[in-house]
Structure formats: C-alpha cells, structure tokens
Homo-oligomer: A and B are copies of this chain.
Amino acid sequence: MPTDESTTLNRSPASADTADSLAIICGGGSFPAAVVEVAIQRGRRVVLFALKGWADSGLVKQHPHHWIAIGQLGRFLRLAKAAHCRDVVIIGTLLRPPLRHVRLDWRTFRLLPRLAQAFRGGDDRLLSAVVGMIEEGGLRVIGVEEVAPEIVVPEGVLGRHQPSPRDRADIDRALSLIAALGPFDVGQAVVVADNNVLAVEAAEGTDAMLARITEMRGKGRVSTPSRVGVLVKAPKHGQDRRVDLPAIGRQTVENVARAGLAGLAVAAGAAIIAEAAAVTAAADQAGIFLVGVREESRP
C-alpha cells in the first residue's frame, strides 16, 4: 500500500539536499531520457534501474544505474534500498517482454501465482500488481507528473491549428468509446472520423493502428475525406496512472498526418509527450492540430 507521507518532489533545485534518491525504472523509447533530465534539473538525485531488453544503454551509462531483468523484483528492491531510494517512477515502453529477457529471482518466484492471475487481467492489471508489490517492498511508486510535470500534456491547443466543431464532436465520441472500453483493459487510443469509428487500438499499438488507417485509405475503404478525423489517446478508466500513461511523440504526429486525419487529442494531465516543442512544430508543419482535452468532457 502507498505510504501517505507528503511528497518531497516539485521542490526547487536549491532544496535538493534530502538524503533519498529517486529510482527510475527505465523501459524503452525516449521517455526515460526526458524524465531523467527533468528530475536532475529539478535537483533530484537519480538511480536508473534499466530493464534489460528495453532500456537505452546510451542513456543508462551516463547516470548511476543498475541493469535489472524483468522478474528481478527482489534484486530491484535490495539495490534501490541500498542506493537510499524511497520513491520510484516507472517510465518507458513496457510491452510484455520476450521470455528470453525474463529472469526470476526468489521474491518474484514466490509472487508468481499473483502475477499470473494479474497477467490474465491484461496489461493494466499486471502493472498495477507490480506497483503493489514494489510498495509492499517498502518503496513508494509515484507518477511521472510528480517527477517531470513538463512532459505531461497540458489542457488546450498546443500548436497553431485549431480543432473544428466537428473535430470536437469526434473527440467527445472517442473519449466515450475509450471509457466504454475501460472494463476490458484495452484501447487507450481510437480513431473517429465524422462520427464513424475507424479503428480501435488493442495490442497492436498506436503506430500500427494509424498505419492501418493509411492503408485503408489507400484501398478506398475510408469514405471520409482527407483532413477529417481525429486520433484520441486517453488512459483507460480505472487505470493506475502511475504506470503506462498514453504517450505521443513526433512519430505519432507524422503518422496522424500520413493517415489523413485532422489532428490528435490526448487526455490533459494524463498523457505524456516527448520533446513537446519539436512535436508541436511538427504538427504545425503537417497542418494538423494537437490538443490536450479534459476527460471530464466524456458524457
């Protein structure tokens, strides 16, 4: 269970003299680097726990770090405590790893029945179970918005292009659909074009889903004209927001443009963006909008 002590984060760099370090469990992709950078700028001492098979070794070697395999919960807890970590943030691609990257230590082994149960519930429940196990081990798992609010998408239009009233209606429909999918632990992203649902993301990931739109458009199976339709990404209802927030980056913007959509909308405060300035510039140049929306607009 989470301990209820008040956060020591969001402090200015000048006050960064507490003894505890921040453990950053690093998955794949570019988000771990962004979080590490911001945490250090904010005066946090960091220790990276790099997931074998996922984390970027170029980033990892620049900072105090340990490599850990998926399945080494006991090792992680021991090393994190030895490094005086109290808070943990989990960031980066955490797709279910190939089995060859899994190493089970005894602590994890004893927890396997619980993990197996959680595994059957989908990614969301699996990650929640892992968070619970880390906290039972005496650490506190915090959300990325506590450590690096700079990479969390704010509310409002980020670039030059504005969503039209039709785009706004498509966004609302998409948010409702994501909400309806919540109990099934599926679908952080959907594409809606002029009220028609073109695609629902499950295990394939956002880029593959957008490639599908591009392909269907090429075959004449998308009847809405170009520059109509939105990609919407939002966390599932009931999702533990300390892990696996929806993420967007330059590639998302490029794929949205290629799919002939009008723009993309993400849940404000509950989605992360890598290199916001570059992504916004890319959206401007591609002629698509990029907006952070309140999930409360869900009907």
Contact = CB atoms under 8 A, between A and B. Distances in A.
Interface in A177-198: 177, 180-181, 183-187, 190-191, 194-198
A190 B190 CA distance: 15
A173 B184 contact: yes
Interface residues of A, number: 38
A194 to B, nearest CB: 6
Nearest to A196: B122
**How many copies of the polypeptide does the oligomer hold?**
2
Contacts of A176: 184
A222 interface: yes
A277 interface: no
A94 interface: no
Given A120-B194, A120-B196, A196-B120, A203 B184 contact: no
Contacts of A203: 196-199, 216, 221-222
Interface of A: 95-96, 98, 120-123, 173, 176-177, 180-181, 183-187, 190-191, 194-205, 208, 212, 216, 220-223
Contact of A198 (B95, B120, B199, B202): B202
A187 B186 CA distance: 13
Contacts of A194: 120
A186 B201 CA distance: 13
A52 to B, nearest CB: 15
Contacts of A180: 180-181, 183-184
A127 to B, nearest CB: 13
B200 A95 contact: no
Given A187-B200, A203-B216, 8 more contacts: A173-B184, A181-B181, A190-B202, A196-B203, A200-B200, A200-B201, A204-B212, A208-B212
Nearest to A95: B221
A219 to B, nearest CB: 10
A57 to B, nearest CB: 20
A202 B202 contact: no
A190 B196 CA distance: 18
Q: Which 10 pairs across A and B sit closest by C-beta, in order of nearness? A: A186-B197, A200-B200, A120-B195, A96-B223, A198-B203, A199-B202, A180-B180, A98-B220, A177-B184, A200-B202
Contact of A195 (B98, B121, B183, B198): B121
A187 B183 CA distance: 16
6 contacts: A122-B197, A180-B181, A180-B184, A190-B202, A196-B203, A203-B222
A122 to B, nearest CB: 5
B122 A195 contact: yes
A134 to B, nearest CB: 21
